[in-house]
Chains A and B, each alone.
Chain A
Amino acid sequence: MKSEYFSFHFTKEEVQRYCGLAGVKKAIYYSLEAALEEGFEGIPLPPALPMIAYRHIEKPWQLAEPVILRKQECRPHRIMYADRAYVGAVKLRSHSFRQGRWFLIEELVIFDQENHLCFNGISHLIAGGFFENNTV
């Protein structure tokens, strides 16, 4: 099962807020000039930041609370930049019901405008419930 592809971009402000939370003060994340000077094409995204793209994606399934993240893998395939257009989707790689809880693996994939794979993020989740949207 897979969501449709949704378009989105990450803003400079999101990068700055994320880096503020992470405690990173490197100028490349805050200043376009500093990033260009270091050879980047713009303000780069930290490696796990693309996971916030979930907020832009409507999945054809829902999880009931409580939802717990037990393992997370982020694979940046290309450097991604703030204020560039991307498209992404979430795939449900597996789901099973054991001992009263749902165990799921979801994969977020993000491509750039040239259709290059830029990022995939694999989340191992435990949820109180799992529903396909047409059965909710």
Chain B
Amino acid sequence: MKTIRFKVTEQDIESYAELSGDVNPIHLNPEYAKAHGFSGKVAHGMLTMAKVWGILANEFDNMQFPAVFRLHFQSPVYVGETVELTIEEEDCSITITGKVVKGKASL
């Protein structure tokens, strides 16, 4: 078992919005996000997925091109938060659990 952390920055969210064309205001407008029950700007789920893949690709050579890559988003990841991933390898699969360790909300 291994733990690795990553952070989601304001710049990450803006860059991902530009790259993907996903300009959903819950990612970009804090007032809008708060009006819909969030405590601030929410990271794109696909941005979180990119960061998780980045960690896997750097850590495991055989995870560059997984057969299936699946994430369940249990809670929002907010801008400025640090997520700690716990990575467990079993046979041909890797299970990752993430939780927020620094920031203003929990994952």
Contacts and interface: CB of A to CB of B under 8 A. Distances in A.
Interface string B11-29: 0100110011110111000
Interface string B40-81: 000011110111011101100000111111111100000000
A27 B73 CA distance: 30
Contact of B69 (A17, A22, A47, A54): A47
Nearest to A22: B54
Contact of B6 (A19, A23, A25): A23
A21 B36 contact: no
Contact of A69 (B45, B55, B57): B45
Contact of B53 (A25, A47, A54): A47
Interface string A49-88: 1011011000000000111111111111001000000000
Nearest to A77: B67
Contacts of A25: 58
Given A46-B50, A46-B57, A52-B20, A72 B65 contact: no
Contact of B65 (A24, A51, A79): A79
Contacts of B67: 75-76
Interface centre among A44, A69, A71 (most CB of B within 10 A): A69
A66 B36 contact: yes
A18 interface: yes
Interface residues of A, number: 33
A26 interface: yes
A14 interface: yes
Given A21-B12, A48-B53, A75-B68, A55 B21 contact: yes
B68 A73 contact: yes
Contact of B19 (A18, A23, A26, A68): A18
B69 A48 contact: yes
Interface in B77-95: none
B53 A17 contact: no
6 contacts: A54-B20, A54-B21, A67-B24, A68-B26, A69-B46, A75-B69
Interface of B: 6, 12, 15-16, 19-22, 24-26, 32, 36, 44-47, 49-51, 53-55, 57-58, 64-73
Interface of A: 14, 17-26, 44, 46-49, 51-52, 54-55, 65-76, 79
